[in-house]
Structures are given as structure tokens and as C-alpha cells.
Structure 1
Amino acid sequence: MSLGWAAMAALLLPLGLVPLGVEPRWIAGLGDSWEAAHLASRSLSIAQAISAYAVLQAMVFIIVFLVTCIPVIRRWVTPRSVRRSRVRRAAMQQFLAHGLHTTEHRTGVLIFAALSDHQVEVIADAGIHDRVDRDIWAQAVDVLTERLRSGDAAEGFEAAIKIVGEVLALHFPPRANDINELPNRLVEL
């Protein structure tokens, strides 16, 4: 994302200087105070102007790239839909990577928080997702998000896990021969 913003700025911002009369002398070493009035020197002036423009583009590119590498600014300039899509994809990859889809009754649930993107996802396998109203998953997301905002991540995860646990207990109550098919643990990436 930073590369895209830097490239766009490098292409567009120097264009704003054209009406102001970009001159090579604006950049040290590319122009001097002496000008030749002969027609043969015209190609030299054009080359100096193009060089000045290229140097401006490079400077703008580097500055914008470095600024957009700052996490807060990168989050601010990245569209919410892009962040949401990335987090959703990462959550789904973790869901599959940790084998949450391999339970006997397809009841695996992942609560995923991307701290750098300020996004939370709850992924539930088909066995439980089909039986539960979407508002329950939204409630777990809202509780976790609210606690993350206030700086209490542990309490937020506990509250979200409680909501999910109650839903699982309601639709899939413990049986005599039940075994815990998945480890219940927090994974930090």
C-alpha cells in the first residue's frame, strides 16, 4: 500500500509545480544563474528541466513512502474495505492452519483480532455457523472490539470466548464420551 501511495504522489504532486514554472535551478546542482541564449543550448535547458522534474519525483516518492510506512498513517490511508478483506483472509488462513475445520461436528470457532489493523473477525465452522444467528457472532466481535479500544485485551477475549462458549454449549451440549478435539489456547502471530 505504501508503494502505491508513493508512486501516485510522485506522479501527481510534481505536476502541480508545472504551472509554477519548474526550473532546474530549484534543485542545487542542476541549474546555475547563467543561461545561454543560443538555440543549441535549448536542448541542455530541456535536459536540465527533465532532470529537475525526475529528482522532484524521486524525492516525493521517498518522502511519501517513508511517511506511509508509519503504522498509524498506513492504517489511515488504507481503505477500510482493504483492511477488512486482508483480516478476513488472514483469519480464514489461521482457521484452516490450526485445523479448526476438522472437528467431528464441524464446530470449530476462531476469534481473530488484528491489532495493527484494528479489526476483529469471528470465524465459525459450518456445523455451528448454520445453527446460530449472525447477531451472536456480531455480539462477540463488538464485545472484543470495545475492550480492545479501552486497552483491556484479556478481558475482551474472555468476554468473547464466554459468548461463543455459551452458544456451543446450547447447540452442542457436553456428552458422556466427549473429548476436546482442539486445544483451547491463544495464539499470537
Structure 2
Amino acid sequence: MLFTDPDRARIAEAIATAESRTAGEIVVIVTSERQRYPATALSVAALLALALPLVMLLAGWSPAGLFADWGDAAAVDNVRHALETVVLLQALVFVAVLAAVYFTGLGHTLTPRGLRRDRVHRAAMTQFKARGLEQTSGRTGVLIYIDEPEHLAEVIADTAIYAKVAPDHWVATITALIDGMKAGRPADGVVAAVGLAADVLAAHFPYQANDVNELADHLIEL
């Protein structure tokens, strides 16, 4: 378990404290679900299966030993036997590699980091919309999204904030998150990131007396 109950209480308190300084709404989501990469698995399995005939040719391997009548059969039958053997072996290689890459950590290892980052970004955008962050009255919602297995984080701000705060202003927030995760102190990382996000928001969207807390302050774990 990534967070204990005291950790969750600390994070909820940090969010509430942060929102007492700003009109912005901060939501923190952490996912511990390890992603699978079907596109990578399919690509690697297809590539190795298609490369099999070339490997067999370079290795000088022949299916002749698999068939007792190879020397006596007509040439056309030998060709058919050879094709059947190659196709069967390709199918076996495809299935075996597909399963190995998809169900183990190979999918993660073989997928370029840029593609993994894009996937985390898409997941964060999905949560941003699903959790109602784009429906706040002032369009001041901010999502802090952490993908723990990938050691990646995203900060997504709604339109009102995006118009005033450049994306590079969130670098310190993301760094705090990742540093906490890598150090084995995820709660410290989240609390620090929430505080840094509040600093940015308070500078542009200070707390208003009539401010309403529109989104829950507790940590959301997926």
C-alpha cells in the first residue's frame, strides 16, 4: 500500500490549507495500477514472427528432419511441408512473444519513455474531465496526477489558470512529487507539491471571501 491512513489525513489537510490561500481548486490523484502495453506487445511479436524465416535461412535450418518421407516425397510436397512448418513456427513465436511482452515487465521496458509519458498524459486528461475539474465556476481547477509505477507526474490546469501560468511554472511541483516517490516518502512528495502549487495559484488567484469549496480535498487513489 502506497499511503497509510495518517498519510491520507496529512494530504487532505495540505489540500485544505492550500485552498485557504487561493480561489483555485486542487485535486490529487495517484494511480498504482501498472500499465500494460498491447501495441508494443503486438509490434514485437509480429516483428519476431516475420523475422523467423530469415533467421532459419541464415542458420541453415531445414524442416527436412521433421518429416519421414521428405526424401521420397515430390518437390511440391516438400515445399508444402516447409511452408506449413514455417507458418506454424511463426504462429507459436507470435503467441509466445505476445504473452511474454504483455504479461511481464517487458512491455514497459520496450516501450519508449516518450510513448509512456504520452499515455500518462492521456490518463491524466481523462481524470481531469471525469472528476469535474473543468466545471468549476472560475475555471480554476488544478489536477496533480501521479503515476507511481511509471515515476511520472502531470499537472493539468484549467483554462483560467493556463491563461496566466505558463506550463514551466509547474516544474518544481512535479519535481517535488517525483523526488518524494523515489525517496520512498510519497506522502512528503505530495504535501510538498500541493504547497508549491498553492504558491503559484495564490499569486494569480488569491482566496476570495465568498469562495466555495467545489471539489473534495481528499486524496484519490486508483
Q: Given the two structures, how large is their TM-score scaled by the length of structure 2? A: 0.74
Deviation at 1:79, TM superposition (A): 1.7
Q: Take 1:109 and 1:10, find their aligned partners in 2: how far apart are those partners?
A: 46
Q: Is the 8 A contact 1:11 1:57 kept in 2?
A: yes
2:96 corresponds to 1:57: no
Find the aligned partners of 2:131 and 2:219 in 1 and give their Cα distance. 12
- In structure 2, relative to structure 1, the CA distance for the partners of 1:34 and 1:101 (3 Å cut) is closer
Question: How far off its partner does 1:34 sit?
Answer: 5.8
Which of 112, 125, 146 is matched with 1:92 structurally?
Answer: 125
Greater relative CO (CA pairs within 8 A, separation 6+)? 2
1:101 alignment partner, SS class: helix
Map 1:1-189; keep pairs closer than 5 Å.
Answer: 1=39, 2-25=41-64, 30-32=66-68, 35-36=71-72, 41-189=74-222
Aligned length: 183
- Quote the offset at 1:110 in angstroms: 0.5
What is the rounded CA distance, in whole Å, between the counterparts of 2:161 and 2:102 in structure 1? 40
Question: 5+ unaligned residues in a row in structure 2: which ranges?
Answer: 1-38
- Per-residue CA deviation, residues 87-127 of structure 1 (Å, 9 max, x unaligned), is 11111111011110111221100111223333211101121
Query: How far apart in 1 are the matches of 2:205 and 2:101?
Result: 47
Does the Cα contact within 8 Å between 1:71 and 1:116 map onto a contact in 2? no
State percent identity of aligned pairs.
40
| Residues 96, 78 of structure 1: alpha-carbon distance in 2 compared, 3 angstrom cutoff | same
Paired residue type of 1:15: L
How far the C-alpha of 1:188 sits from its partner, in A, is: 2.2
Deviation at 1:44, TM superposition (A): 1.7
Structure 1 unmatched runs, 5+: none
**Aligned-residue CA RMSD in angstroms?**
2.0
Alignment partners' CA distance in 1, 2:173 and 2:104: 26
The amino acid that maps onto 1:137 is W
Could you say if the C-alpha distance between residues 143 and 33 of structure 1 is closer, same or farther in structure 2, counting changes exceeding 3 Å?
farther
Call closer, same or farther: CA 1:10–1:104 in 2, change over 3 Å.
Answer: same
Task: Tell me the amino acid that sits aligned with residue 17 of structure 1.
Answer: M
Separation of aligned partners in 2, 1:173 and 1:34: 84
**Would you say the 8 A contact 2:176–2:193 is kept in 1?**
yes
Distance 1:25 1:62 in 2: 24
Runs of 4+ in 1 over 3 A off after TM superposition: none
State the TM-score, normalized to the length of structure 1.
0.86
